[in-house]
C-alpha cells in the first residue's frame, strides 16, 4: 500500500440545504479527502486550524490512523464558510468566507512526508500546490484539484500545476473555463493535449456522475443511485479521497485502475453527501464499500 500526502484546507462550516441546517460543523477539502481516503490507505495530513476546530474530529482522524504530524493547530480561528444550497442542490450561495488562520497558511512538510508515494494537492491556492511539488521527492503519482476561483485569478499557475500532475480533477464547468471550450468533452481533449504528462483528466459531473479520459480511451460512470442528497458540501473532495485511496491500495495506475478508482470515488462521495458535514464519512467500513460496489456494478452492467 502506498502512502498519500494530502495538503488542503481545514474549515468550520455553516450549511443550509433543503434537508436542513447545521452550524459550526467541520469541513475543508483536506478533512473530507482524508476521511474518505483513510478507508483504503495511510494518509500524511498537512493543514492548519485554530483552537476552535472540533477535537472530536481530530480524535476520529487519529482512530483512522491518519498521520497528523503536519497538522498545525494555532492560536486564532479556523477558516470559516457559510453557504445555502438551492432546491436543485446544484447551485449554492456563499454567505460568508473568513480565511482566519488559513490566510497565512504555508504548508510545512515533515521529512518523511516528502517521501510519500502519492501526493494529492487539494483545492487550495496554486502557489501553495507548487510549493508542495517543489518539496516532495519524486512521488509516483501526483493528483491535483482546483476550482473556478483559482482559474479566474491565477490561470497561469493552475496550468503550471496541471502540467506537473499525473491526474487532474475538475468539474465540467471548471475544465471548460480553463480551456475556453464550451463542451466538456472537447475541453478534456484539449486539456490532455496541452498537458502531455497527464495519465488522465477526471471530470466531475455532479449528480450525473463522472468522466475520465487519457486522450484516447474514455469512461463514463453514473452517480451512485441515491434517492436523497442531504448535503453536497465536500462531495468532490470525498470523491477524490476514494479515488486516490483506491489507487494507493492498488499500487498501479494504468487506465483500467483509474476507471475502477472512479467507481470507488463515486461510492465514497455517496456516503459523504448522504449526511451533513463529515457525518456520512464517520462510520462506513469495507463491508459498506463492497456492498455499494456491487450496486454500482449492477447499475452499469448491460
pLDDT tens digits along 229-241:
999 999 999 999 9
* pLDDT of amino acid 34: 98
Q: What is the residue extent of each domain of the chain?
A: 3-300
**% of residues, the chain, pLDDT over 70:** 100
Per-residue pLDDT at 91 exceeds 90:
no
CA distance 203 to 184: 8
- Give the model's pLDDT for residue 15: 97
Rounded mean pLDDT of the chain?
96
The pLDDT, as a whole number, for residue 90 is 83
Give the whole-angstrom CA distance, residue 161 versus residue 150: 12
The predicted-structure confidence for 99-147, as pLDDT tens digits, reads as follows: 999 999 999 999 999 999 999 999 999 999 999 999 999 999 999 999 9
pLDDT of residue 235: 96
Task: Give dist(CA 77, CA 163) in Å, integer.
Answer: 35
Q: What is the pLDDT of residue 17?
A: 97
Whether 164 has a pLDDT exceeding 90, the answer reads yes
Residue 273 pLDDT > 90: yes
Q: Which CATH number fits domain 3-300: 3.40.50.2300, 3.40.1190.20, 3.30.70.20, 3.40.50.300?
A: 3.40.1190.20
Contacts of residue 144, defined as CB under 8 A and 6 or more positions apart, other chains included, come to: 120, 121, 129, 161, 162, 165, 167, 168, 169
Q: What is the pLDDT of residues 16-49, one digit of tens each?
A: 999 999 999 999 999 999 999 999 999 999 999 9
**Mean pLDDT within 84-99:** 92
Q: What is the mean pLDDT of residues 182-206?
A: 97
Give pLDDT, residue 1.
Answer: 83
Distance CA 205, CA 207 (A): 6
Please state whether the predicted TM-score (pTM) of the whole model is above 0.85. Answer: yes
User: What pLDDT is attached to residue 25?
Assistant: 98
Amino acid at each position: 500500500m502506498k502512502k498519500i500526502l494530502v495538503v488542503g484546507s481545514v474549515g468550520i462550516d455553516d450549511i443550509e440545504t433543503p434537508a436542513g441546517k447545521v452550524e459550526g460543523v467541520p469541513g475543508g477539502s483536506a478533512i473530507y479527502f482524508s476521511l474518505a481516503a483513510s478507508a483504503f490507505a495511510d494518509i500524511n495530513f498537512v493543514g492548519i486550524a485554530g483552537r476552535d476546530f472540533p477535537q472530536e474530529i481530530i480524535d476520529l482522524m487519529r482512530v483512522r490512523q491518519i498521520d497528523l504530524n503536519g497538522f498545525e493547530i494555532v492560536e486564532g480561528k479556523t477558516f470559516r464558510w457559510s453557504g445555502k444550497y438551492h432546491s436543485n442542490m446544484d447551485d449554492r450561495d456563499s454567505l460568508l468566507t473568513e480565511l482566519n488562520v488559513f490566510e497565512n497558511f504555508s504548508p510545512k512538510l515533515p521529512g518523511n512526508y516528502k517521501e510519500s508515494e502519492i501526493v494529492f494537492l487539494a483545492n487550495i491556492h496554486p502557489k501553495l500546490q507548487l510549493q508542495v511539488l517543489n518539496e516532495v521527492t519524486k512521488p509516483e503519482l501526483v493528483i491535483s484539484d482546483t476550482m473556478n476561483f483559482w482559474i479566474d485569478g491565477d490561470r497561469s499557475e493552475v496550468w503550471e500545476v496541471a502540467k506537473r500532475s499525473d491526474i487532474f480533477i475538475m468539474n465540467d464547468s471548471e475544465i471548460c473555463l480553463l480551456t475556453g471550450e464550451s463542451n466538456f468533452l472537447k475541453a478534456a481533449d484539449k486539456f490532455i493535449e496541452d498537458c502531455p504528462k497527464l495519465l488522465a483528466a477526471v471530470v466531475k459531473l455532479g449528480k450525473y456522475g463522472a468522466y475520465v479520459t487519457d486522450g484516447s480511451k474514455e469512461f463514463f460512470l453514473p452517480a451512485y443511485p441515491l434517492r436523497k442528497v442531504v448535503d453536497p458540501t465536500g462531495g468532490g473532495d470525498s470523491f477524490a479521497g476514494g479515488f486516490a485511496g483506491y489507487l494507493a491500495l492498488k499500487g498501479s495506475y494504468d487506465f483500467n485502475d483509474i476507471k475502477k478508482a472512479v467507481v470507488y470515488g463515486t461510492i465514497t462521495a455517496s456516503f459523504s453527501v448522504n449526511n451533513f458535514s463529515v457525518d456520512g464519512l464517520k462510520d462506513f467500513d469495507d463491508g459498506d464499500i463492497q456492498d455499494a460496489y456491487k450496486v454500482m456494478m449492477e447499475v452499469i452492467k448491460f
